[in-house]
Chain A
Amino acid sequence: MSIKRKFLEISKVGIEFPTPNGPFCALKDVDFSINEGEFVSIIGHSGCGKSTVLNIIAGLYQATSGGVILDGKEVDEPGPDRAVVFQSHALMPWLTVYENVALGVEQVFKGQKSKSEIKDWVEHNLRLVKMDHAMDKKPSEISGGMKQRVGIARCLAMQPKVMLMDEPFGALDALTRANLQDSVMQIQKELNTTVILITHDVDEAVLMSDKIIMMANGPAAKVGEILDINLDRPRERVALSKSDQFNHYRQQVLSFLYERKGVVDIEDEKRKRTIDEADALETDKIA
């Protein structure tokens, strides 16, 4: 369609994990692309391979087939241009909030920023997530929501080309979650960051995204459908919940997850597999 290259391209990505019972094909032919500054959610049932996709984009996992191209360069190792916000916040418990953010900043801007610039930059990012008041606290001394904010600050402070978030709000209560969602939307709009957010919360996906990538169930999972969300920003959750358009999108995601390809007919899948295996045996015999 467009001649212009996409900012982030995931093409025909597949991955097989070695297991005791032979290789397990988690993803097969996962294909999608993302524009710069876009907010994209990946939604799907538990175990369908959302985290695996994210880890491949992050470079933490190596795809068995296919590849990821970010800004014209192939991704083959982890790097700060694809910073990750982990579900388990993953803050170093022995470092203070400030030090946790500074750890990345010092490395990424080594030789570019002076000491005082680094300090200002870390503080700026903590202010962005409203955590500048707890800079000298240890992660054990702040709440779960606050930890997640620090994780986001650490990610933003590295100025990534894409921000990868793996269920960042999964472990939070509803109010804290709403609060953080608003913060992230606001920051994303301000900085025009490209974001990939993994979630299994339908409301969250519709509220926050420009595009929702719905994944079919595994094994050998692939992208089921891609839904563009054309809602004006800034989005306001209470107003939106009453809007027909919002509910329409919401319903489309729900129907994908629960009525269509989201739930693969397991019996069907099994039957197909046994037939495949039988075929394989046959060909073995012939060979």
Chain B
Amino acid sequence: MSTNSNSSSSFQHGSSEQLAGRVMKVISTFDFKSVVFPVIGVIVFCLLWSLAASRIDTSLGQFPGPAQVLSQSQTLLDEHFAEREKEQGFYDRQEVRNAKKLAKNPDAEIKIRKYTGKETFFDQVITSLKTVLFGFLVASLFAIPFGIACGLSDGVYKAMNPLIQIFKPVSPLAWLPLITMVVSATYSSESPWFEKSFLVSAFTVALCCLWPTLINTAVGVANVDKDLLNVSRVIKLPTSVHIRRIILPASIPMIFTGLRLSLATGWMVLIAAEMLSQNPGLGKFVWDEFQNGSSNSLSRIMVAVVVIGLIGFALDRVILLLQKTVSWDKQAVLR
């Protein structure tokens, strides 16, 4: 056995071993549990779902299983693109017509009409998303400052507490008729920034987004470490600096807990509000499909249900991401 060949073979052997080792390392660091288990969960759920669905007969046909939902979502996608094509065609034709008119008579009055086609499922998704985000933003803009005021001052807290306790348990849907009437009575302008229906839905969302953020912010602010507050008192930080540099960073986790709760309830309430008030959005889509009562209706509603869930999940993740970027504590475990 020559040393040379031995060393070279051992080198090859070593490198292949190294490679294997590296692969093993990648596999072992790859967290199977966090990937495989959720997949298993979803698969088992789908199996149970399709089993159960095949046994449920309704007056609108069989309850949709995962397969029908999948095919129906494809249909909804197709419908969306077809509608978009139609719209494009409409505008193209209009342009040609107007060009012809102008060519005949340069002073001719040309009309540009808006396409008024049916709103597709995806249009409704976008509408709902815009509404919930707007309502949530408006609510947070009020809730966080008021929450801070409640947390800082016992007097403010005692003044606000009865109002919070009374209005918090009221379903925002009870407000819906009032909001509708108030918005239509007070909001009118020639070229409105927002549709009335949009404002009604958004304010309804805002009303329920208010409370979790307000309460959590107040609790977070009131529970800032006593020693840190004492430091601030010894330094004699002015109130604005005190809030900016001590109170806000210290209560970020609680504020975000409130925001997440708010957005989740806001999203739930929005769907209900849209169903009830027939304002554009996912809720209206669901209601319309229900009223249609075609054989596809249930699958289409089921698609909406899944999408609503996915969007709710995504919204929560977005807030979580926001918290991660805003928070000073990068090691904090967020869930």
Those of A78-133 within 8 Å (CB) of chain B:
78-80, 82-84, 86, 88, 90, 92-95, 103-104, 107-108
Q: Which residues of A contact B331 (CB under 8 A)?
A: 140
Indicate if the CB atoms of B328 and A78 lie closer than 8 Å. no
Indicate if the CB atoms of B329 and A80 lie closer than 8 Å. no
A158 at the binding interface (Cβ < 8 Å)? yes
B241 at the binding interface (Cβ < 8 Å)? yes
Indicate if the CB atoms of A83 and B234 lie closer than 8 Å. yes
Q: Which of A90, A140, A158 contacts B228 (CB under 8 A)?
A: A90
A30 at the binding interface (Cβ < 8 Å)? no
Query: In the assembled complex, how far is the CB of residue A7 from the closest CB belonging to chain B, in whole angstroms?
Result: 19
Closest 10 interchain pairs by CB? Answer: A94-B328, A90-B227, A94-B249, A78-B233, A104-B235, A78-B234, A86-B227, A90-B231, A107-B235, A88-B227
Indicate if the CB atoms of B235 and A108 lie closer than 8 Å. yes
Indicate if the CB atoms of B235 and A158 lie closer than 8 Å. yes
Which B residues lie at the A interface, using CB under 8 A?
225, 227-228, 230-231, 233-238, 241, 245-246, 249-250, 328-329, 331
Closest to B241 in A: A107
Q: Which residues of B contact A78 (CB under 8 A)?
A: 230, 233-234, 236
A178 at the binding interface (Cβ < 8 Å)? no
Indicate if the CB atoms of A93 and B329 lie closer than 8 Å. yes
A142 at the binding interface (Cβ < 8 Å)? no
Q: Which residues of A contact B237 (CB under 8 A)?
A: 103, 107
Q: Which of B225, B233, B249 contacts A60 (CB under 8 A)?
A: B233
A206 at the binding interface (Cβ < 8 Å)? no
Q: Which residues of B contact A83 (CB under 8 A)?
A: 234
A153 at the binding interface (Cβ < 8 Å)? no
Summarize B's interface: helix, strand, loop or mixed.
helix
Indicate if the CB atoms of B235 and A103 lie closer than 8 Å. yes
Query: In the assembled complex, how far is the CB of residue A59 from the closest CB belonging to chain B, in whole angstroms?
Result: 8
Query: In the assembled complex, how far is the CB of residue B217 from the closest CB belonging to chain A, in whole angstroms?
Result: 17
Those of A135-192 within 8 Å (CB) of chain B:
138, 140, 158
Q: Which residues of B contact A90 (CB under 8 A)?
A: 225, 227-228, 230-231
A34 at the binding interface (Cβ < 8 Å)? no
A58 at the binding interface (Cβ < 8 Å)? yes
- Given A88-B227, A90-B231, A94-B249, 12 new contacts (CB under 8 A): A60-B234, A78-B233, A78-B234, A78-B236, A80-B236, A82-B234, A83-B234, A84-B234, A93-B328, A94-B250, A104-B235, A107-B238
Closest to A151 in B: B231
CB pairs A–B below 8 angstroms (21 shown): A58-B230, A60-B233, A78-B230, A78-B233, A78-B234, A79-B234, A80-B234, A80-B235, A82-B234, A84-B234, A86-B227, A90-B225, A90-B230, A92-B231, A93-B328, A94-B328, A95-B245, A103-B237, A107-B237, A138-B328, A140-B331
Q: Which residues of B contact A79 (CB under 8 A)?
A: 234, 236
Question: How far apart are the CA atoms of A94 and B230 in the complex, in Å?
Answer: 17
Query: In the assembled complex, how far is the CB of residue A35 from the closest CB belonging to chain B, in whole angstroms?
Result: 23
Classify chain A's interface size.
20 to 34
Summarize A's interface: helix, strand, loop or mixed.
loop
Q: Which of B233, B234, B238, B245 contacts A92 (CB under 8 A)?
A: B245
Which A residues lie at the B interface, using CB under 8 A?
58, 60, 78-80, 82-84, 86, 88, 90, 92-95, 103-104, 107-108, 138, 140, 158
Query: In the assembled complex, how far is the CB of residue B132 from the closest CB belonging to chain A, in whole angstroms?
Result: 30
Closest to B235 in A: A104
Question: How far apart are the CA atoms of A218 and B154 in the complex, in Å?
Answer: 31
Indicate if the CB atoms of A60 and B230 lie closer than 8 Å. yes
Q: Which residues of B contact A95 (CB under 8 A)?
A: 245
Indicate if the CB atoms of A103 and B245 lie closer than 8 Å. yes
Question: How far apart are the CA atoms of A82 and B329 in the complex, in Å?
Answer: 31
Question: How far apart are the CA atoms of A223 and B168 in the complex, in Å?
Answer: 53
Q: Which of A86, A107, A140 contacts B236 (CB under 8 A)?
A: A107
Question: How far apart are the CA atoms of A93 and B328 in the complex, in Å?
Answer: 8
Question: How far apart are the CA atoms of A83 and B236 in the complex, in Å?
Answer: 11
Q: Which residues of B contact A60 (CB under 8 A)?
A: 230, 233-234
Query: In the assembled complex, how far is the CB of residue A91 from the closest CB belonging to chain B, in whole angstroms?
Result: 8
Q: Which of A80, A84, A108, A138 contacts B230 (CB under 8 A)?
A: A84
Question: How far apart are the CA atoms of A78 and B234 in the complex, in Å?
Answer: 5
Indicate if the CB atoms of A92 and B228 lie closer than 8 Å. yes
Question: How far apart are the CA atoms of A82 and B233 in the complex, in Å?
Answer: 11
Q: Which residues of A contact B235 (CB under 8 A)?
A: 80, 103-104, 107-108, 158
Residue from B225, B234, B235 having most chain A Cβ neighbours under 10 A? B234
If A86-B227, A93-B328, A94-B329 touch, whether A58 touches B246 (CB-CB below 8 Å) is no
Q: Which residues of A contact B238 (CB under 8 A)?
A: 107
Query: In the assembled complex, how far is the CB of residue B263 from the closest CB belonging to chain A, in whole angstroms?
Result: 24
If A79-B236, A94-B249, A107-B237 touch, whether A86 touches B231 (CB-CB below 8 Å) is yes
Question: How far apart are the CA atoms of A80 and B235 in the complex, in Å?
Answer: 5
Indicate if the CB atoms of A86 and B230 lie closer than 8 Å. yes
Q: Which residues of A contact B328 (CB under 8 A)?
A: 93-94, 138
Q: Which residues of B contact A84 (CB under 8 A)?
A: 230-231, 234
